[in-house]
């Protein structure tokens, strides 16, 4: 007989090594600005350092930590650096890390209410809190016809909405009779690529995805949407899904949700709203006008892991009618049957999304909300928006740079007047220096630089240093 204690880490060892890891994380945050923001690793560099075979026998924990420092850290791009201005943030905070640690420690698999009632009921309450904190429509609360569920990402939320919309459009028969080729979905040319991916995965096909042109502010033109829907119906097709955005990826454009929502209501299309990054700003009353029209939505999604200081992954997905999700995703094999489920008095979140298994994600969100409070979260969001306005002002005052799109929130799209090649060279030169990290996009076929201001520990000094670096590098490159 093998004694298992020979292989397992004891609680005393766990206590000792766990304290070391907490210290390691704390040290990392104290030193984070000393790292090159973007990893300087070359392709295959880490692979060449790692042994090709796993160890036959367990190794001392100190050796693992040493390899973490020497081998893993050089290949890390530091998303939590206050000098990270790229993409949209994937933020975290110490309360969130601790909440995630508790979740990992408990090791809950919360697929059913019965498998851990607290995992389900905390999620219900926290998402109702958020709905109230953001003044979301009443139907998104658990006390009404809908409710919220935590998904991993906005991509999965979009796919979930697409599948539920598909089932509603086919009277929940597509998995019985097969999927008709006639279903058609609609997005703007600026909608996140995850929706196209979801359309492909759901079997609708890219050929049945319509890209609606945008206006000068890169927002969907509602009249063109309606025109396209009418044309498709005249051709015997079945419009079934429309995605509107509160903050597109390239430019943070906000689609005309009231107009789109009315069209969807008239034409019987599922209306999904993607507010992946901007959703957090709805904590502040002065920004809630961006969500006008959300009351017409069938589903709404935003990522606390982007701008609400909750570590990846954590997506909030609200629906107006939870029964449509349950009718779409519920399968009850014998081994999942239990008394609580059969009473119908509980939420079984496995019926609200694609996967069966679920982590206890609501713990980290609960920790964050309780640590910062509503006012603390609001003040941090407002400060990030203020810093974006400051950066925008500096760009406007510059002779060599210009703002491309009027910022709606905390992203500034700008460019050097010297043209696309110069802007790409400028960005790559700065990113390669490791001092800051930012990214680009294309708008109207022009290369545009993007600076996102939402990192947890970012301060005004970091924004000033970034602007000075951009100016000095541009001057240096112009002189060559």
Helical ranges in 50-153 per DSSP H: 61-67, 94-106, 117-133
Can you say whether the dihedral through the CA atoms of 345, 351, 352, 356 is positive or negative? positive
The DSSP annotation for 415-428 comes to: EETT-HHHHHHHHH
The answer to the question of residue 32 being in a domain is no
Question: Structurally, how many domains does the chain consist of?
Answer: 1
Mean pLDDT of 30-47: 92
Task: Identify the CATH number of the domain in which residue 143 sits.
Answer: 3.40.640.10
- Rounded to an integer, the average pLDDT of 103-124 is 89
Residue recorded with tokens 């809630």: 288
Q: Which domain holds residue 341?
A: 99-367
Q: How far is CA 220 from CA 210, 229, 260, 293, in A?
A: 12, 14, 9, 14
- Residue 269 lies inside a defined structural domain of this protein: yes
**pLDDT bucket at 335, cuts 50 / 70 / 90:** low
Q: Is the dihedral of CA 43, 49, 52, 53 positive or negative?
A: negative
Rounded Cα–Cα distance for residues 113 and 120 (Å): 6
Q: φ and ψ at 388, to 5 degrees?
A: -65, -40
The answer to whether residue 136 scores a pLDDT higher than 80 is yes
* Encoded tokens for 105: 């420690």
Tell me the average pLDDT across 304-318.
Answer: 95
pLDDT averaged over every residue in the chain? 91
- Comparing 264 with 346, the larger pLDDT belongs to 264
Percent over 70 (pLDDT), the chain: 96
- Residue 372 falls inside a structural domain: no
On whether residue 45 sits in a domain, the answer given is: no
pLDDT in the model for residue 114: 78
Does residue 427 belong to any structural domain of this protein?
A: no
Q: pTM of this prediction?
A: 0.92
Q: What is the pLDDT of residues 369-410, one digit of tens each?
A: 999 999 999 999 999 999 999 999 999 999 999 999 887 789
Considering only CA atoms, which of 236, 295, 234 is closest in space to residue 264? 295
pLDDT band for position 345 (50/70/90)? confident
End-to-end CA distance of the chain: 74
Whether pLDDT at 343 is above 80 = no
- Residue whose tokens read 């890891």: 21
Q: How confident is residue 1, by pLDDT bands cut at 50, 70 and 90?
A: low
Quick one: which of 28, 245, 279 has its CA closest to 140? 279
Which is nearest to 223 in space by CA: 192, 252, 195, 263? 263
Residue 266 lies in a domain: yes
Establish if 450 belongs to a structural domain.
no
pLDDT in tens, 160-209: 999 999 999 998 888 777 666 799 999 999 888 889 999 999 889 899 99
Q: 9 in a domain, yes or no? A: no
**Range with the poorest average pLDDT among 217-231, 295-309, 327-341, 406-420:** 327-341
| Segment 211-265, tens digit of pLDDT | 999 999 899 999 999 999 999 999 999 999 999 999 988 888 899 999 999 999 9
Contact indicator for 103, 363 with CB cutoff of 8 Å? yes
305 by Cβ neighbours in 10 Å (0-12 / 13-18 / 19+) ranks as: buried
């Amino acid at each position: 007989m093998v004694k298992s204690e020979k292989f397992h880490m004891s609680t005393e060892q766990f206590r000792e090594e766990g304290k070391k890891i907490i210290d390691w994380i704390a040290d990392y945050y104290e030193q984070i600005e000393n790292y090159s923001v973007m990893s300087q690793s070359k392709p295959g560099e880490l692979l060449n350092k790692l042994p090709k075979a796993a160890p036959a026998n367990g190794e001392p924990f100190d050796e693992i930590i040493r390899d973490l420092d020497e081998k893993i850290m050089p290949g890390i791009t530091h998303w939590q650096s206050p000098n990270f201005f790229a993409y949209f943030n994937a933020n975290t905070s110490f309360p969130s890390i601790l909440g995630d640690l508790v979740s990992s420690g408990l090791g809950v698999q919360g697929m059913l209410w019965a498998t851990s009632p607290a995992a389900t009921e905390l999620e219900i309450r926290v998402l109702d809190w958020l709905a109230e904190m953001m003044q979301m429509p009443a139907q998104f609360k658990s006390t009404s016809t809908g409710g919220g569920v935590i998904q991993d990402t906005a991509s999965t939320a979009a796919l979930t909405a697409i599948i539920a919309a598909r089932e509603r459009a086919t009277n929940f028969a597509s998995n019985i009779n097969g999927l008709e080729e006639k279903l058609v979905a609609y997005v703007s040319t600026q909608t996140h690529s995850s929706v196209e991916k979801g359309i492909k995965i759901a079997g609708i096909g890219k050929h049945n995805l319509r890209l609606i042109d945008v206006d000068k502010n890169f927002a969907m033109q509602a009249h063109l949407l309606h025109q396209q829907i009418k044309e498709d119906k005249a051709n015997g097709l079945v419009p079934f899904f429309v995605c509107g955005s509160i903050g597109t990826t390239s430019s943070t454009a906000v689609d005309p949700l009231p107009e789109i929502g009315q069209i969807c209501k008239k034409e019987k299309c599922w209306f999904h709203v993607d507010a992946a990054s901007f959703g957090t700003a709805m904590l502040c009353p002065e920004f809630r006008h961006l969500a006008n029209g959300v009351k017409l939505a069938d589903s709404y999604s935003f990522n606390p892991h982007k701008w609400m200081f909750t570590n990846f992954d954590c997506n909030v997905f609200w629906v107006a009618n939870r029964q449509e999700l349950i009718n779409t995703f519920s399968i009850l094999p014998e081994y999942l049957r239990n008394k609580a489920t059969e009473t119908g008095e509980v939420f079984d979140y496995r019926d609200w999304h694609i996967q069966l298994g679920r982590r206890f994600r609501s713990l980290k969100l609960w920790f964050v909300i309780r640590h910062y409070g509503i006012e603390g979260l609001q003040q941090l969001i407002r400060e990030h928006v203020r810093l974006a306005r400051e950066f925008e002002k500096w760009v406007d005052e510059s002779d060599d740079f210009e703002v491309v799109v009027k910022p709606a929130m905390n992203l500034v799209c700008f460019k050097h007047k010297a043209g696309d090649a110069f802007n790409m060279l400028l960005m790559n030169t700065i990113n390669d220096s490791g001092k800051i990290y930012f990214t680009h996009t294309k708008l109207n076929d022009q290369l545009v630089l993007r600076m996102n201001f939402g990192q947890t520990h970012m301060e005004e000094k970091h924004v000033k240093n970034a602007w000075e670096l951009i100016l000095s590098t541009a001057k240096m490159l112009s002189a060559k």
